[in-house]
Amino acid sequence: MTEEVRVAVLGASGWMGKTHTMAYQSFPHFFGPAHGTARVIALVEANPAAAKDLGFRAPDAKILANWQDAVNDPDVDLIDICLPDNMHYDVAKAALLAGKHVYCEKPLADTAVQARELADLAKEKGLITRVGHSFPRNPIHDRAKEIIDAGEIGEIKLFKACQHIDIYGDPLAPYMWRADGALAPTGIIGDTGSHVFSFMEFLVGKVSSLIADSYITVPKRPKVDGLGYGDAPPPVTDETEWGDVTNPDGTNILCTFENGAKGLIDFSRVATGRKFMQTYEIYGTKGSLAYTFDEVNRLRFYSNDDAAGRRGFREIDVGPEHPTYAAFLPLPNFALGYNESKIIEIAEVIKSITTQTPMWPTFENGHHICQIVDACMASSDKRAWVDIA
Ligand SMILES: NC(=O)c1ccc[n+]([C@@H]2O[C@H](COP(=O)([O-])OP(=O)(O)OC[C@H]3O[C@@H](n4cnc5c(N)ncnc54)[C@H](O)[C@@H]3O)[C@@H](O)[C@H]2O)c1
């Protein structure tokens, strides 16, 4: 076992950069030495104003402006990519070529071809990889998987899921890199769809074909430097500069899984009032499961094995009988949230490296998720069903 994994976090001042840095520091409190230890030795941030406070977050880390300096640093074992989507492929490739393990935020790459190349390169070099899909690492989804794998809902016939936010519900909400097809080539599909696809891959299996309808609701948005999620833009004037929205705001999908199950999925960034909506429902021949992020620690389970007259969805709260939950809390229903999912994910990244054991979702799994993203883009363009090889 490597004693300590030395980490460089790239895009350190952003949302994910902040969350990941916190998680490296936090996971030993909950998981002890069993997963190994990690030390953030470099924080990379291109925006000098934002980088100013980084020393406070990880006092011993070098603060760098260029990601290449981290990739070429012989002291770094793990490159953690929290950069805008369009940089993931170049940075991950350079890191793998430099012999570093790579933990990359989703979507792994802009295309499945790029993702394939990264997965192959990691395999050739014997390096550990991981994609940051976060949500499925909440132990409630391990419960769902156990129920499915034990055959308690029978054969899965239908998967329904959605994920919505409303950052672009308001037509005057400011332009961000997320709306720029150059910086986020797949838009909401790679951004939000990839989360739904990660649940599909974790719980149901591989998708074999789909038809998707993607849309842009507002083609131009006011451009204001430095604004991020939730920031109110200044009023529109004659001076306002406008940015073209060049990637999808939302997508509706029908799909078929390799195991024959059918899927019905929708996601968007324009669902006014939906600050964060994430749900799935899985219908099988013997029972069903239903989940909503609004009750993030609760699964609903229906079973045909229950006596007639006693049937109905029952609520299962994840609690300390699940080891990952117990790592945080001694009582059920105190709720593990988003940040805990990230701490679990990062504890697993470090365990993967210290034990040389790949853990889901690796770049190989990320490749299949990118194939689904590609298929959505192609299907929306062609307005036709697309097969996934
Ligand atoms: N897993 C999840 O739940 C989740 C949630 C949010 C975002 N993400 C993903 O994480 C990634 C980052 O998203 P975010 O919300 O943190 O974005 P963000 O805009 O908050 O942060 C990105 C950071 O990267 C910096 N940056 C940009 N170019 C750089 C460069 N060349 N060198 C160094 N730093 C640079 C920016 O200045 C910014 O601080 C995206 O790929 C996104 O899809 C994943």
Residues 85 and 151 in one domain: no
Give the DSSP H or E segment for 317.
strand 314-317
Boundary (domain end) residue, out of 134, 161, 194:
134
What pTM value is reported for the model?
A: 0.94
Rounded average pLDDT over 189-204: 97
Residues 105 and 252 in one domain: no
Q: Number of structural domains, the chain?
A: 2
What residues are in contact with ligand 1 under a 6 Å CB criterion?
A: 10-11, 13-17, 44-47, 50, 67, 82-85, 105-106, 132, 134, 191, 228
Which residues share a beta bridge with 267?
163, 251
Q: Find the 46 Cα to ligand 1 centroid distance in Å.
A: 11
pLDDT-derived band at 1, boundaries 50, 70, 90:
very low
Of 227, 206, 169, which Cα lies nearest the Cα of 50?
227
Is 258 within a domain? yes
Q: Residue 191 CA: which ligand 1 atom is closest?
A: 43
Question: Tell me, what amino acid is at 90?
Answer: D
User: What DSSP line would sit under 307-321, residue for residue?
Assistant: PTTS-SPEEEE--TT
Is 266 within a domain? yes
Instruction: Give pLDDT tens digits for 328-370.
Output: 999 998 989 999 999 999 999 999 999 999 999 999 999 999 9
Q: How far is CA 223 from CA 172, 173, 240, 291, in A?
A: 10, 9, 7, 37
Mean pLDDT computed over every residue of the chain: 95
Residue 235 confidence (pLDDT) above 90: no
What residue spans of 98-203 are helical by DSSP H?
112-125, 139-149, 187-188, 194-203
Q: Find the 89 Cα to ligand 1 centroid distance in Å.
A: 14
Task: Identify the weakest region by mean pLDDT among 168-177, 185-194, 261-270, 338-347.
Answer: 168-177
Instruction: Give pLDDT tens digits for 275-310.
Output: 999 999 999 999 999 999 999 999 999 999 999 999
Ligand 1 pocket, mutate which of 9, 10, 15 (most atoms under 8 A from CB): 15
Q: Is 326 left (phi over 0), alpha (psi -120 to 50) or beta?
A: alpha
172/188 Cα distance (integer angstroms): 18
The CATH code of the domain that includes 216 is 3.30.360.10
- Give pLDDT, residue 266: 98
Residues 154 and 9 in one domain: no
The whole domain housing 30 covers: 4-134
